[in-house]
Amino acid sequence: MKRRRQRRAVVEPITKVNVTPIIDVALVLVIILLVTAPMLTVADLPVDLPPAQTRDAEDERNVSITLGQNGKVAIDRDVIATEDLRRILTARLAEPGNEDVLVVVRADAGATHVDVRHLLAEARAAGATRIAIATRQKGQELVR
């Protein structure tokens, strides 16, 4: 009987990294992150949130300050000069029945934040104690 020479299998060195386990671990970490992220955004403090008063504010008496797209200012329906805003608003708030009236600031969406802040500061300086900013709700048509 002849002895056969057994050929040894040539073992090649591993030259490439197997990325499949790395991808599996990364996907598991992403899933854990997606599940736990919503739990981390809100503190566990008990909070009694106040009710929204948007519809209530529309029904009550208010004074409206409007800032148009062109920079013109109006109190209710009267267009006024910007420098007269504090004086006229102070007089309007001093009228009988307007002591605790809601002052609603309506500004065009294209108005700058500086202009809106100026209106809010003038309303506060005129003696307004209750101030609101009017917004348009989603799906609501543009008011002209």
Domain membership flag for residue 89: yes
Query: Model-level pTM?
Result: 0.56
Which CATH number goes with the domain that contains 62? 3.30.420.270
The predicted structure's pLDDT at residue 26? 96
Q: Residue 6: count other Cβ atoms within 10 Å of its Cβ.
A: 6
Domain that holds residue 88: 54-133
Q: How many domains does the chain have?
A: 1
The predicted structure's pLDDT at residue 143? 53
Q: How far apart are CA 8 and CA 131, in angstroms?
A: 89
Domain membership flag for residue 76: yes
Please say whether the beta carbons of 64 and 106 come within 8 A: yes
The predicted structure's pLDDT at residue 138? 58
**Cα–Cα distances in angstroms (integers) from residue 126 to residues 86, 87, 119, 123, in the given order:** 5, 7, 10, 5
Domain membership flag for residue 30: no
Using the CB atoms, write b or e for 57-79: b if 16+ within 10 Å: eeeeebbebbbeeeeebebeeee
The predicted structure's pLDDT at residue 24? 95
Residues of the chain with pLDDT under 50: none
